[in-house]
Amino acid sequence: MQKLIIQGGIPLHGEITISGAKNAALPVLCAALLTQESLKISNVPALQDITTMLSLLKQMGTSITAHNASEVVLSAFELTNLVAPYEMVKTMRAAILVLGPLLARAGEANISLPGGCAIGLRPVDQHIKGLQAMGAEINIKHGYIHAVAKKLHGARIVFDIVTVTGTENLMMAATLADGTTILENAAREPEIIDLANCLNAMGAKIQGAGSDIITIEGVSSLHGAEHTVMPDRIETGTFLVAATATGGEIHLQNTHSHLLDAVLDKLTEAGAHIDSSENWIHLKMSVKPKSVNLRTAPYPAFPTDMQAQFMSLNCIANGTAIITETIFENRLMHVQELKRMNANIEVEGNAAIIYGLTQLDGAHVMATDLRASASLVIAGLIAQGETVIDRIYHLDRGYENIEGKLSALGAQIRRAI
């Protein structure tokens, strides 16, 4: 099993380019199922989850051509298999995103239930409730969602809770439904806007993406298009936190500051000096960080996907911080690993109290999920001595060539078996 080995204590300096967003690319790839024509997608990150999704789409009958490392062309002229098997879904919960497109275009879908997730419950009941409101007949047997609909129709759907993948699934399904669909209490994440932009380029009629009310006027068919995936705001935030924690100065290309206002506000509060323009962000940290309190919540509030990284920052900051996790009930698993590096953290329910120390100590630790992995990398960068991180396959699901990018910024980091 591969591991990362980090020699800490080196401030990050230099320039790197941010990759396309995984959480935007995955639903956009699924949008190819909605048309017989070709969808050309650029700025696609090279990640394990992307590879898994492409494999799933291919076994459904989609032809896939890679023009270069970050560009793919998908053509789902004929859908030959309407099943998303457990073997694929168990490794990537985003596979549920094929449900809406398959049902809308082919009138049937058989999708394995996603199953458990390390960071907490991620129920798909909102997906099912919405599709039923649009006329689908859905049965769950032997661990699979079997959905059938001769033709979906527009409906007014009010989500009980804010759900990103639920919003994306129903938005895609509604593009080919008869009539108008209104999604209320919809997710507002930038990735929702990115998907809507792609669908509109394919001929869909979507308004309100980025707000909590999205209106989709169904059309008879969608056509081919070209789309460039938005920059990854979580990768952006992760590198900015790493530079802040190590006392460095970095310049990030191909990213947008407006995608992560809440994160930049907290980094400024910690003492970082940040400049930005249309396509770049520059951060300089010349003082010891100050502790920052934060509370996760749906966009545009502070993202749960940045919580773990800020915990590592707070471990060596001046003062005491309280981090409250409101999205997932089991997303503080990295605390025990950070404690192995001498972090002073107490957990009370869904909150962690972090007492800042002068330094962390390098140690042998284990990643428990994607963002926990990133927090341990940051901890390793600021720790004295050597840090060894096991189970780094989590990182490969969400960070493209993270050790290469960190090495370009001066970090001493390598992958080993």
Complete edge-to-edge strand list for the sheet that includes strand 38-42:
63-68, 71-75, 38-42, 225-228
The enclosing H or E element of 257 equals none
Distance CA 354, CA 346 (A): 7
Complete edge-to-edge strand list for the sheet that includes strand 344-348:
294-295, 320-324, 351-355, 344-348
Distance CA 69, CA 45 (A): 8
Q: Which two tokens stand for residue 127?
A: 């997906």
- Beta partners for residue 414, in sequence order: 5
DSSP 265-332: HHHHHHT-EEEE-SSEEEEE--SPPBP--EEB-STTSB-GGGHHHHHHHHHTSBSEEEEE--S-TT--
User: Could you tell me if 228 and 43 are in contact, meaning their C-beta atoms sit under 8 angstroms apart?
Assistant: yes
- Beta partners for residue 353, in sequence order: 322, 346
Strand, helix or coil for residue 371: helix
Residues 6+ apart with CB under 8 A from 170: 100, 127, 130, 131, 134, 157, 181, 183
Largest pairwise CA distance in the chain = 64
Instruction: Give the residue numbers annotated as catalytic, written as ranges.
Output: 117
